Structure 1
Amino acid sequence: MNTKKHNIPFNALGVILAIGIVFGDIGTSPLYVMRAVLKDLPVGASYQPDYILGAVSCVIWTLTLQTTIKYVLITLRADNKGEGGILSLFALIRRNYRWAYIIAAFGAATLLADGVITPAMTVLSAIEGLHSAVPSVSVVPVTITIILILFLIQPFGTGSLGKYFGPVMVCWFLMIGLLGISQFIFRLDVFKAFNPMYAFHFLQEAPDVLVILGAIFLCTTGAEALYSDLGHCGLKNIRISWFMVKTMLIFNYLGQAAWILDNPQRAVHDVNPFFSMMPSWFVFPGIGMATVAAIIASQALISSSFTVISEAMSLNIWPSVKIKYPTDIKGQMYIPSVNYILLALCLLIVLIFQSSMKLEAAYGLAITLSMIMTSLLLFLYFLQTKKPLWYSIPLTLFFLIVEMSFFIANMQKFTHGGFISLIIAGMIFLIMYTWYNGRRIKNKYTTYDAVDGTIRHIEQVSEDQTLPKVATHLVYITRAKNKSQLESKLNYSLFYKRPKRADTYWFVCLIISDEPYEFNYSVKTFIPKKVFRIDIRAGFKLGYHTDKYVHLITNELERIGLVDLSTRDPSLKGTEIKGDFLFVVVDRIFRNLELNPIRRILVSIYDLTKKLASNDVRVLDIDPSFAVQETVPLVIPDHTEEELRGLLQKSKLEAIGKGEKEG
């Protein structure tokens, strides 16, 4: 395990940045938590202080136990080179617990499903506040417009806007804290909610407590995303900023409780205490701030989704897709395919539910499963780091009991819309599971040949004038890290299919590094001016531009006299026209494999996913006009004389059996 950490400076700017990036989701929870609690309380309960104080006590202790203790104090310490998130946690333990990919994939899938619902939930909640003040405002069209703009600006990068997120969210938290203070300053008895006995009695006595517990859980839905953002902001910045954020959140919840107790006749199930407790002169500024905070929260979830997919690709549990980096920071990425899938699902969610009150039924169920998966992986991390069992077992059991309670509570929402989040998570998990296992099957059958044998055959083929020449320069993409080996599939393409004659052969290995603008290469010459291997390391900001890199390097090699790039066509001799290049990407297909029915289904889904989501020529950014993607069987069949005799014998026996039956 690599324990080297990426040091992110701890300072006031870092704290403000963390407030803007990390706490958008959990910071907008006051928009809907107490309204959801009111909706699920029995009629007349808003007149009973013990019910309201008990519900707020549950909120306070949920934020303390789940967010503060589990995530901020414990889980954030499990970082992978400074990066956090459930997949980074799996990366730490996969050497010893490879089977835990199932837990990690399911946790990541549920986190992504939450990323679909969060933008719809937060933006709907904010716009509904505007609708309550100006009834003529149409909630759904305005919400759809904001979500469309939010997703459509992603290709241009949000780095220039990101520097404003921190100060805006600082203003947001100060605003919600002051709103809360303005209410409870005249009702200090709400501070009784800090007494956990109020939460305990509430859970014992409240009717339909599981339904209400599902509403209370919404206060901590951003905790998992908080862990995912560790690499963007740094441990100390997140920890310090959380205590300011938590204080403002609790102040606001206490203020909402005070307003409910002071206005029991107005605290009906369709009223949102968050907006109702605002002074009349502040309603429009407050709604404006809520809308901006909702947008920032949605942006944080979108960015988190990009990060999860990027990590999944590096762990081989997601297809290789195109990644773009609008800024110089690796964590700030843009994945076009993910962006537009999220947009389509988000719009679908808004059109189906059309109100945040209905959407509450779908919200929270998936994220409880993600939290449970994180707890399981955290226990394996404790074992790997040799934490004493007296510490790791009770702690893990405690978190699992709390999270299982919330999961059971959220399962009450299943038939009311919660099934949608689980369907989305299930589809994502299916892709991750089949991709991981499909690649494992492929890797199991991957073989390598010594490069010396390949070079001898190339020398013979290149001199064989009876073979048609396919290109002046033939470029193969290889992933073999050992320079003395090549994948057997390349030999199959070169010789066992139609032998490929060229003047010059290139084997190119491209690796994307963690440094934004790194670019270096090495060249190994096997046959002077005829056979070369190029190893390229390009920074993530530079990305995959395979043909561009090859042309730049080969031009330099020509300049120093190592290769001749001029055309070999006699009619073009003496011109400045260069010889043609043909890039060959070889993919292996599942053929000639003996698989059981379950694995056959798994492989079929893998193949379908690859056809729909992944194209190696496009991912490597090779100009398709001079590229070809070939396929070779995963297992090369050996058609022998004995096999033919066996088929003839089987046919003869079937013919005899058929004749006897007819006789």
Structure 2
Amino acid sequence: MKQQHKVPFGMMGIFMAIGIVYGDIGTSPLYVMKAIVNGLPAGLQTNPDYIIGAISCIIWTLTLQTTIKYVIVTLRADNRGEGGILSLFALIRKKYRWAYVIAIIGASTLLADGIITPAITVVSAIEGLNILIPSIPVIPIAIAIILAIFLIQPLGTARLGKPFGRIMFLWFTMIGILGVFALFHYPMVIKAFNPMYAVKVLIDVPDAFLILGAVFLCTTGAEALYSDLGHCGLHNIRVSWVYVKSTLILNYLGQGAWILTHHSQVTTDVNPFFAIMPNWFSFIGVAMATLAAIIASQALISGSFTIISEAISLDLWPNIKIKYPTNIKGQMFIPQVNYALMVLCTLIILAFGSSSNMEAAYGLSITITMLMTTLLLFIYFQYKNVPLWVSIPLTMFFITVEGSFFIANLFKFAHGGWATILIAGCIFGIMFVWYNGRRIKNHCSTYEPIAPTIECLQKISMDETIPKFATHLVYVTRAKYPTDMESKISYSLVNKQPKRADTYWFVYLHRSDEPYQFKYTVKTFVPGKMFRLDIHSGFKQGAHMDKFVHHICKEMEEKGEVDLLSRYPSLRERNIEGDFRFVVVERIARNLDLPPIKKTLLLLYYLIKKCSTSDTQILDLDPSVVTKEYVPLKSVQQSACK
């Protein structure tokens, strides 16, 4: 029975979107205004024009960058319901293959940003407890919370999204109400809706780019919003954003009003977010901030899972195990990514030590992601034949906005921004090597008609001078058409070591988008002796190759299409089933006539492959029944059967 993969639109979907998508952008009030005030010269920290101008920058950044670019424009560029920069690349890669460089730059910087996001949100929230308990050990508590966040990820985003959604709805309601009450103390702060105040502060304030770098923090979660499209659905995200944006703006206005009416209390150590809370509400507010900070980490974590999953399907990342806790393909859990992020987040907290230090480093890598998304959007517009008079001005507008933020955030490089750029560089290196190394390997690989090999195998099967290799010999093939076979399999069967078996099986596995689908077709080359199985397995089924093959063979035996009993008389008389042997063939590069750059890429590709999950593990094969073979990459040898 087919399962519905589309995330349903409704209150539950909206709550899920609020819980999963908006955690990062929803907790930005914890540190944005504090960073802006600390970036202003001492005499201007309580100047009405500059504070109103800074809030105006925030309002119009949320409007132009988050609302227009992502919510209205970018979310339209979905790939069968999935979002993210790699999903966008997947839509255009057949026509613009070279755009992979843009895509992997954006993906690697987004993954790097996902490491610092949980750290800064959790530490900012815990620091709020200093109001109540000045001696609280911030770092140990923050690390404990980070560990807990990552350890609950196996539950899946659907289970997390429902309770998280309710909590985040309360969070946004709370910050909106707090903002409204604070706003009454200085109503004129609503002048921030006038964009001229934003322009004025950027022109008049010395080192305005430092302010712009702090303002950018209000929209850092926008790219995760796009990445989480497959988790939460387009309409759920769009509808929930109306409420989320309204409460965010109200809170920023309230913080600005507090700053302008409490001149003597504005210092680098005071966070306006917590300062606008009434004394009796402080404990509740800090507790809610801590919960919101915990949930905020989910947006980038689930987005990271999506990126890696898409990178694997696009041949940009080595194969690793993906688990699906629910029946929706977009909701996944990748253990290796989860625990790598957990370790790196912990190291970031230990290295930086405070949210102020993290603010100085945060945002640089995500500006690069946003710029890359804009470039891919322009290419997507060309792919969709959008008129140039529409696509060019729109693209130039976004590049101007994001380019300004990028220049502003470059000042952060020496203050810790180098850390995320270094991590992004390592991720980019893996993606670049894997993509190009795989292409070089595939160019050196060949397919050939299967008919001559089938003819030859019939004779080998009857040749008793060749030692029997197995009763049932199974090869996993990547040839899409039953008429073809990889040269490496032909070479393994005939040239490398003639393999005599009673029955030969060639199995092609297709992973479908339906969770529990399992169907197969059988192509019989030689009745009772040689078959090809085309298996369509749902993503929830996993890739249990030996289990699938045995199941199909049993059904074929019941129909009288194959004999599974051992051919050895002493075993056959006891009705003992014949043995199965799976052969995994790896291609190795030897004596290839390639330019030095390609040789180096291929060498690095095989090094990464050696460190990643093996084909045996990916296919969930029993290692005791697997033979691993190596054949030359460039199969210049022709099959002896030809």
TM-score norm. by structure 2 comes to: 0.96
Alignment of structure 1 residues 444-593 onto 2, 5 Å: 444-593=443-592
Deviation at 1:12, TM superposition (A): 3.0
CA contact 1:57–1:198 (8 Å) conserved in 2: yes
- Residue of structure 1 equivalent to 2:240: 241
Matched residues in 1 for 2:148 and 2:220: separation? Answer: 24
CA contact 2:57–2:215 (8 Å) conserved in 1: yes
Gaps of 5+ in 1: 640-663
Matched residues in 1 for 2:203 and 2:235: separation? Answer: 38
- Residue of structure 1 equivalent to 2:338: 339
Matched residues in 2 for 1:176 and 1:624: separation? Answer: 55
1:159 to 2:158 alignment: yes
Matched residues in 2 for 1:451 and 1:32: separation? Answer: 64
Aligned length: 635
Deviation at 1:14, TM superposition (A): 2.6
Q: 1:12 to 1:216 in 2, by over 3 A?
A: same
Deviation at 1:235, TM superposition (A): 2.3
- Give the letter aligned to residue 351 of structure 1: L
1:630 to 2:616 alignment: no
Kindly provide the CA deviation profile for residues 314-336 of structure 1, in whole angstroms up to 9, marking residues without a partner as x: 11111111111111111111111
CA contact 1:8–1:234 (8 Å) conserved in 2: yes
- Residue of structure 2 equivalent to 1:294: 293
CA contact 1:489–1:588 (8 Å) conserved in 2: yes
Deviation at 1:638, TM superposition (A): 6.3
Q: 1:402 to 1:313 in 2, by over 3 A?
A: same
Give the SS at the match of 1:265.
Answer: helix
Matched residues in 2 for 1:156 and 1:26: separation? Answer: 23
- Residue of structure 2 equivalent to 1:429: 428
Alignment of structure 1 residues 118-157 onto 2, 5 Å: 118-157=117-156
CA contact 1:592–1:634 (8 Å) conserved in 2: no
CA contact 1:592–1:633 (8 Å) conserved in 2: no
Matched residues in 1 for 2:636 and 2:506: separation? Answer: 26
- Residue of structure 2 equivalent to 1:71: 70
Give the SS at the match of 1:287.
Answer: helix
After the TM superposition, which of the residue ranges 86-95 and 12-21 deviates more from structure 2?
12-21
- Residue of structure 2 equivalent to 1:268: 267
- Give the letter aligned to residue 328 of structure 2: I
- Give the letter aligned to residue 413 of structure 1: K
Kindly provide the CA deviation profile for residues 169-223 of structure 1, in whole angstroms up to 9, marking residues without a partner as x: 1111000001111101121011011111111110011112111211110000011
CA contact 1:455–1:526 (8 Å) conserved in 2: yes
Kindly provide the CA deviation profile for residues 32-65 of structure 1, in whole angstroms up to 9, marking residues without a partner as x: 1011111211113223111211111111111111
Matched residues in 2 for 1:628 and 1:208: separation? Answer: 65
Q: 1:233 to 1:638 in 2, by over 3 A?
A: closer
Matched residues in 2 for 1:48 and 1:408: separation? Answer: 25
Deviation at 1:558, TM superposition (A): 1.3
- Give the letter aligned to residue 471 of structure 1: A
Deviation at 1:158, TM superposition (A): 4.6
Kindly provide the CA deviation profile for residues 356-400 of structure 1, in whole angstroms up to 9, marking residues without a partner as x: 111112211010000000110111111111111111111111110
- Give the letter aligned to residue 438 of structure 1: G
- Give the letter aligned to residue 89 of structure 2: F
Matched residues in 2 for 1:357 and 1:561: separation? Answer: 73
- Residue of structure 1 equivalent to 2:605: 606
- Give the letter aligned to residue 219 of structure 1: C
Matched residues in 2 for 1:130 and 1:569: separation? Answer: 75
Give the SS at the match of 2:41.
Answer: coil
Alignment of structure 1 residues 305-324 onto 2, 5 Å: 305-324=304-323
Give the SS at the match of 2:265.
Answer: coil
- Residue of structure 1 equivalent to 2:398: 399
CA contact 1:375–1:399 (8 Å) conserved in 2: yes
Matched residues in 1 for 2:304 and 2:593: separation? Answer: 37
- Residue of structure 1 equivalent to 2:16: 17
Q: 1:156 to 1:168 in 2, by over 3 A?
A: closer
- Residue of structure 1 equivalent to 2:360: 361
- Give the letter aligned to residue 341 of structure 1: A
CA contact 2:5–2:514 (8 Å) conserved in 1: no
- Residue of structure 2 equivalent to 1:645: none
Deviation at 1:294, TM superposition (A): 1.3
- Give the letter aligned to residue 415 of structure 1: A
Kindly provide the CA deviation profile for residues 104-156 of structure 1, in whole angstroms up to 9, marking residues without a partner as x: 11111111111111111111111111233212321111111111111122234
Kindly provide the CA deviation profile for residues 382-440 of structure 1, in whole angstroms up to 9, marking residues without a partner as x: 11111111111111111101101100110100011000111111111111111111111
Alignment of structure 1 residues 114-263 onto 2, 5 Å: 114-263=113-262
Give the SS at the match of 1:300.
Answer: helix
Matched residues in 2 for 1:505 and 1:210: separation? Answer: 68
Matched residues in 1 for 2:105 and 2:295: separation? Answer: 26
CA contact 2:25–2:221 (8 Å) conserved in 1: yes
- Residue of structure 2 equivalent to 1:658: none
Matched residues in 2 for 1:157 and 1:569: separation? Answer: 49
- Give the letter aligned to residue 266 of structure 1: Q
- Residue of structure 1 equivalent to 2:91: 92
CA contact 1:6–1:81 (8 Å) conserved in 2: no
Matched residues in 2 for 1:180 and 1:187: separation? Answer: 11
After the TM superposition, which of the residue ranges 233-242 and 431-440 deviates more from structure 2?
233-242
CA contact 2:506–2:531 (8 Å) conserved in 1: yes
- Give the letter aligned to residue 620 of structure 1: L
CA contact 1:131–1:138 (8 Å) conserved in 2: no
Matched residues in 1 for 2:574 and 2:146: separation? Answer: 55
Matched residues in 2 for 1:440 and 1:162: separation? Answer: 39
Deviation at 1:629, TM superposition (A): 2.3
1:329 to 2:328 alignment: yes
Gaps of 5+ in 2: none
Matched residues in 2 for 1:7 and 1:573: separation? Answer: 51
- Give the letter aligned to residue 263 of structure 1: H
Kindly provide the CA deviation profile for residues 475-519 of structure 1, in whole angstroms up to 9, marking residues without a partner as x: 000010110111000011111111111111110111110001110
Give the SS at the match of 1:44.
Answer: helix
Deviation at 1:236, TM superposition (A): 2.4
Q: 1:161 to 1:394 in 2, by over 3 A?
A: closer
Q: 1:22 to 1:178 in 2, by over 3 A?
A: same
Matched residues in 1 for 2:136 and 2:573: separation? Answer: 72
Deviation at 1:551, TM superposition (A): 0.8
Kindly provide the CA deviation profile for residues 576-607 of structure 1, in whole angstroms up to 9, marking residues without a partner as x: 43211111111212222122222222112211
- Residue of structure 2 equivalent to 1:443: 442
Q: 1:636 to 1:82 in 2, by over 3 A?
A: closer
Deviation at 1:7, TM superposition (A): 5.4
After the TM superposition, which of the residue ranges 347-356 and 561-570 deviates more from structure 2?
561-570
Q: 1:261 to 1:576 in 2, by over 3 A?
A: farther
Give the SS at the match of 2:116.
Answer: helix
Matched residues in 1 for 2:118 and 2:83: separation? Answer: 22
Matched residues in 2 for 1:267 and 1:576: separation? Answer: 86
Q: 1:389 to 1:161 in 2, by over 3 A?
A: closer
CA contact 2:15–2:161 (8 Å) conserved in 1: no
Deviation at 1:157, TM superposition (A): 3.2
- Give the letter aligned to residue 277 of structure 1: I
Give the SS at the match of 1:47.
Answer: coil
- Give the letter aligned to residue 132 of structure 1: I
CA contact 2:475–2:584 (8 Å) conserved in 1: yes
- Give the letter aligned to residue 498 of structure 1: Q
Matched residues in 2 for 1:424 and 1:291: separation? Answer: 27
